[in-house]
């Protein structure tokens, strides 16, 4: 699967205050004309996002909408157990070791 980087998410605004101050959550946005599920990682005022798709089999990472497995600080795919470190989204264990989640660029701006 080719890695695709989205440089902007036009028209998709998320109020940071509406999300827990730490941890993983899920939201849907429109990317390239399609609704896509994103995994959001928030640490204070910092926010990272990836497509909610495991590079191993193309399935969602969450075990239920917005519910993620985390083990030793790593995101774990609910379908196949692949583990992703949450810095760059790289798979460090499991069937897609060496592959990475598809990052989505986000900008945190003052309201």
pLDDT digits (tens, 9 = 90+) for 47-66: 899 999 999 988 999 999 88
pLDDT of residue 111: 56
- How crowded is residue 22: how many other Cβ atoms within 10 Å of its Cβ? 9
Query: Of the candidates 91, 104, 7, which has an alpha carbon nearest to the alpha carbon of residue 47?
Result: 104
Q: Is the pLDDT of residue 14 over 50?
A: yes
Q: Which residues of 54-90 are buried (b: 16+ CB within 10 A; e: fewer)?
A: bbbeeebbbeeeeebeeeeebbbbbbeebbbbbeebe
The model carries a pTM of 0.81
Res. 80: pLDDT tops 70: yes
């Amino acid at each position: 699967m080719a890695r695709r980087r989205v440089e902007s998410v036009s028209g998709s605004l998320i109020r940071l205050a509406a999300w827990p101050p730490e941890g993983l959550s899920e939201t849907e946005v429109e990317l390239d004309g399609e609704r896509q599920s994103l995994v959001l990682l928030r640490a204070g005022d910092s926010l990272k996002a990836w497509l909610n798709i495991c590079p191993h089999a193309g399935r969602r990472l969450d075990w239920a909408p917005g519910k993620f497995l985390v083990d030793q600080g790593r995101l774990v795919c609910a379908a196949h157990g692949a583990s992703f470190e949450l810095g760059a989204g790289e798979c460090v264990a499991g069937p897609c070791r060496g592959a990475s989640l598809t990052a989505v660029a986000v900008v945190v701006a003052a309201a």
